[in-house]
Amino acid sequence: MGSLCSFLFFLVWFVGHAAARPFYPLPSKVANGLRQPLQTSRPYNIAHRGSNGEIPEETDFAYRRAIEEGTDFIESDILSSKDGILICFHDVTLDGTTDIAEYKEFANRKRTYEVQGVNITGFFTVDFTLKELKSLRVRQRYPFRDQQYNGKFQIITFEEFIAIALDAPRVVGIYPEIKNPVFINEHVKWSHGKRFEDKFVETLKKYGYKGSYMSEDWLKQPVFIQSFAPTSLIYASNLTNSPKIFLIDDITIPTQDTNQSYWDITSDEYFGFIKQYVVGIGPWKDTIVPVAHNNLLEPTDLVARAHAHNLQVHPYTYRNENMFLHFNFHQDPHQEYAYWIQNIGVDGLFTDFPGSLHIFQESTSKNGGDNDTTMSLLHKIALMVSPFEKSADTC
């Protein structure tokens, strides 16, 4: 073995071993410092209830699929079981997205409760223990979406949801909602007089979520706390400085806690007040660009006024299917994304199809998308090393 060969062999050995980890680490083995960071240079891709256009909403599999597809944040609605365990579930009743109707032993649990001024009848999550909820299986909400996963997945807890994000091969943020807090606090009682909001923030803190927007702590474990209830956001802001987003409903729906109208909570005066507590708003997208006969009308001034108050705007919900696309977009979801990102200038998008949004953003990204990441740098180094590896082999 010549001395050059020995040197090359040593070089390859050194480069391969000095880092004390392989060049292509297995996803779950990637140390925190090496994980590809959250992209912060373009509007956030927020996976609404996971990749729920493809997989039944709020399930482990829906969230993992969204992460594979390149989402920045996985989004979840947090409710509670009867025994006070926080779960990922959208509706206050189980009827729409589980197989609860098939369980004879639960048939007598049907109730009617008033929720946000409306009487609703069904099987409520707050009347079932976590163990009982875990015995159910989740179903696809819409009949026109893939039904093959019905009956395969369980309801997951808030803690299980957090674990999915923390276990991801790159930094993936979480975007949990304090859902129906007025109703949950009426029906679920925790020890020591704790409220739903206390349990919610305690859970985030237990797993290390802290720090203001864009702080070092936040970039390590990004989180947005969202709620339609202003009093919950104000209460939570006393407990954590994690960034919060104020959700804004359709113009016909008053806030569930303060009974304020859409016009009250979108006034300049109110934006001036709420920005002490939140970094942005999450409006229903038709309040930004109203729609008539499935055609877009003139945009309102909501985004301009929110931005003037330094509030981000993360509208909901973008869905690829024809029946959700306005005629202006020629049945092409990428044209809808282009319009909202380039013309309206939003800062994040809640989408049922995070894979589709990711492909759109990668193909239009000015700064090369995933190019400037640690993992791609490692990839380049590995490519530079491989010629040496070959010559070492022939020695």
Interface residues with ligand NAG (CB under 6 A)?
Answer: 114, 117-119, 234-235, 238, 254, 259, 362, 368-369, 371
Least separation in angstroms between residue 366's CB and ligand NAG is 8
Q: Reduce the DSSP state of residue 87 to 3 states and report it.
A: strand
Nearer to ligand NAG, 161 or 200 (CB): 200
Q: Which tokens belong to 366?
A: 């000015």
Nearest to 46 by CA among 211, 173, 158: 173
Handedness of CA 263, 266, 272, 275 (dihedral sign): positive
Q: How far is the CB of 80 from ligand NAG (least distance, A)?
A: 20
Task: State the minimum distance, in angstroms, from the CB of residue 17 to ligand NAG.
Answer: 29
Chain mean position to CA 270: 26
8 A C-beta contact, residue 327 and residue 294:
yes
Q: Given phi > 0 = left and psi -120 to 50 = alpha, else beta, which region is 58?
A: left
Nearer to ligand NAG, 54 or 197 (CB): 197
Instruction: Output the smallest distance, CB 238 to ligand NAG, in A.
Output: 4
Judged by CB, which is closer to ligand NAG: 229, or 289?
A: 229
Bin 193: left if φ > 0, else alpha if -120 < ψ < 50, else beta: left
CA R_g for the chain: 24
CB 121, min distance to ligand NAG, A: 10
Shortest reach from residue 117's CB to ligand NAG, in Å: 5
Strand, coil or helix: 64:
helix
Taking the least distance from each CB to ligand NAG, the nearer of 117 and 143 is: 117
Let me know: does 58 contact 155? Beta carbons within 8 Å.
yes
| Complex with ligand NAG: residue 154 or 231, whichever CB lies closer | 231
User: Which helix (H) or strand (E) element contains residue 281?
Assistant: strand 280-283
Q: In this complex, which beta carbon is closest to ligand NAG, that of residue 150 or of residue 373?
A: 373
